[in-house]
Each structure stands twice: as structure tokens, then as C-alpha cells.
Amino acid sequence: MRIALLSLTWLICACSAEPPGKQRIELGTVQWQRDHDTALALSAKTGKPVFLLFQEVPG
């Protein structure tokens, strides 16, 4: 039973992962950037500040 539960958990995590480089469609008026270099270039171009959000990804 423990192996089955562990396998199911691994399968759910593997299926929910996004491929690298794919951006989600954002809702609302804020356009978030997920690439640090792109965000810095856009900030320099527009004069707007950069807000960094660090998320801890388990694993």
C-alpha cells in the first residue's frame, strides 16, 4: 500500500509540472515575467521597478 501511494504521489507531481520556457496565461492587468533577464531588460526600458518573488520548490 505504501509503494502504491508513493507511486501515485510521484505520478501526480510529474504530470502537474510545466515544461521549461512555457509561460502561463496571466489573469488581471499585471503582466508577470518569469525570466529574470527579461524582467530586468523590460525594467530598464520602461523605468519601472522589479519585484522579485522567490518560491521554494521542494526537491
pLDDT at 37: 93
Q: Where exactly are the structural domains of the chain?
A: 32-59
pLDDT at 52: 87
| Whether the model pTM is above 0.75 | no
Q: pLDDT by residue (tens digit) across 2-57?
A: 888 778 787 776 665 566 666 667 678 877 888 889 999 999 999 999 988 887 77
pLDDT at 57: 73
How far apart, in whole angstroms, are the C-alpha atoms of residue 42 and residue 19? 24
Residue 46's nearest CA partner among 57, 33, 58 is 33
Q: Would you put residue 21 in left (φ > 0), alpha (ψ -120 to 50) or beta?
A: left
